């Protein structure tokens, strides 16, 4: 069973290791975060900034943990304002294709409504990222608008109101 755990300061070393281990894998579908992100001092500063945003209620960051407590992904609710937030997620290569992202998105949708009082979520992905599009659609997100992401065609999805708590 997967667990979502709210990000905290003690996660920094394991999270950096997870990001470094999956750097090349993630860069296949999303822009690389750059070398400074993976340097210990830069990562520590970024981690503290994320925790400050979370403490302020602007964002809600979570780690996706497997049965043994290892990080297998991340799932975040960004820029929470007026009952809406942007959903972002990534699953490491070893857990990809096993339903991890679909299950984590389902869990965070329920949390968005019950723990954070959100009424809608939006998410964007590129058109060629079929896996991400499938995760969103399986979780009741509806395509609402064509967009461009880093000069690539993409789509914006939305999921709202009681659909956050009740899955199809």
Tokens representing 73? 């992904």
C-alpha distances in angstroms, 102 versus 52, 53, 54, 140?
28, 25, 23, 11
C-alpha Rg value of the chain to the nearest Å: 15
In this prediction, residue 165 has a pLDDT band, given cuts at 50, 70 and 90, of low
Average pLDDT, the chain: 93
**H-only helix segments in the chain:** 12-21, 23-27, 35-38, 40-55, 100-114, 130-138
Question: Residues of the chain with pLDDT > 70: what percent?
Answer: 95
Give CA–CA dist 31/165, Å, rounded: 31
Confidence of residue 163 (pLDDT cuts 50, 70, 90): low
Between CA 154 and CA 159 the distance in angstroms is: 17
| Tens-place pLDDT, residues 77-118 | 999 999 999 999 999 999 999 999 999 999 999 999 999 999
For the chain, the domains span 3-164
Picking from 100, 96, 98, 118, the residue whose alpha carbon sits closest to that of residue 109 is: 118
Global confidence as pTM: 0.91
Question: Tens digits of per-residue pLDDT, 146-162?
Answer: 999 888 899 999 998 66
The pLDDT value given to residue 168: 42
Look at residue 39 and tell me whether its pLDDT is greater than 70: yes
Between CA 70 and CA 63 the distance in angstroms is 9
Architecture, CATH, for domain 3-164:
3-Layer(aba) Sandwich (3.40)
Q: How confident is the model at residue 31 (pLDDT cuts 50, 70, 90)?
A: confident
């Amino acid at each position: 069973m997967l667990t979502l755990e709210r990000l905290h300061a003690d996660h920094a070393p394991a999270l950096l290791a997870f990001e470094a281990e999956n750097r090349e894998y993630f860069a296949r579908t999303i822009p690389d975060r750059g070398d400074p992100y993976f340097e210990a001092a830069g990562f520590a500063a970024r981690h503290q900034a994320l925790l400050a945003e979370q403490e302020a209620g602007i964002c809600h960051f979570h780690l996706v943990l497997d049965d043994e407590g290892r990080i297998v992904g991340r799932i975040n609710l960004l820029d929470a304002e007026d009952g809406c937030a942007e959903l972002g997620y990534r699953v490491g290569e070893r857990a990809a294709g096993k339903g991890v992202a679909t299950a984590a998105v389902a869990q965070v949708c329920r949390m968005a409504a019950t723990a954070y009082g959100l009424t809608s979520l939006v998410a964007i992905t590129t058109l060629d990222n079929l896996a991400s599009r499938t995760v969103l659609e399986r979780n009741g997100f509806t395509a609402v608008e064509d967009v461009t992401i880093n000069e690539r065609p993409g789509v914006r999805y939305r999921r709202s109101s009681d659909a956050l708590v009740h899955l199809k």
